[in-house]
A and B are shown apart, each in its own frame.
Chain A
Amino acid sequence: GQQLNQSPQSMFIQEGEDVSMNCTSSSIFNTWLWYKQDPGEGPVLLIALYKAGELTSNGRLTAQFGITRKDSFLNISASIPSDVGIYFCAGQERGGSNYKLTFGKGTLLTVNP
């Protein structure tokens, strides 16, 4: 099946810094989604991307759908302590009516106040 390579695996930053993480795939995805998960909780949808080259913002978060449809990145600007958590990229394959998600391994973000 599809596999996503997400990097970095973890980041430790100071409050106020910007952070960037990305996902790459060997295959084409139709849609990219970014989620944030707190320990023991369900993933929360942050941003959804539908078109190659699309750049979308949600507050301090910005994400882009790569031109090749095989990658995506997420930027967080001016980080704050509540940004701490695990960020997952997730892709949906092209075609069909099935929208199952394939997840990356996650990026653990720690923000030092």
Chain B
Amino acid sequence: AAGVIQSPRHLIKEKRETATLKCYPIPRHDTVYWYQQGPGQDPQFLISFYEKMQSDKGSIPDRFSAQQFSDYHSELNMSSLELGDSALYFCASSQQGSHEQYFGPGTRLTVT
């Protein structure tokens, strides 16, 4: 079965640079969630979208923004990167009304 696709899988950036992470949800899933997982930590909710509209917002820094496009894929844009932004970034998708979220393989962002 098709799964959530994330790209790139690995990304290395320097401080103050920008990064764009992409997420392609499971076919027919219309809701996308972004999570950040630091080393040895649990995933923390950042932001979610349904039908291209932001549906909920968590602990997402103002330097980050995200959007969902008409084909339901989503992009997380990160600017003025800091060392502390180094983490695994996961996208999860679900069908609206379903409580089950399916996670992608993640993007490992390293900021040097």
Show the binding face of A for B, using Cβ within 8 Å: 30-31, 33, 35, 40-45, 48, 50, 88, 92, 97-106
Contact = CB atoms under 8 A, between A and B. Distances in A.
B56 A42 contact: no
Interface string B43-75: 111001010000110100000000000000000
Interface of B: 4, 31, 33, 35, 41-45, 48, 50, 55-56, 58, 88, 90, 92, 94, 96, 98-106, 108
Contacts, number: 63
A4 to B, nearest CB: 8
B101 A45 contact: yes
- Give chain B's interface secondary structure class: strand
9 contacts: A33-B100, A40-B106, A42-B105, A42-B106, A43-B103, A44-B103, A48-B99, A92-B99, A101-B33
Q: Is the interface of A mostly helix, strand, loop or mixed?
A: loop
Contact of A100 (B58, B88, B96): B58
B104 A97 contact: no
B42 A100 contact: no
**Which of A48, A92, A99, A102: most chain B Cβ within 10 A?**
A99
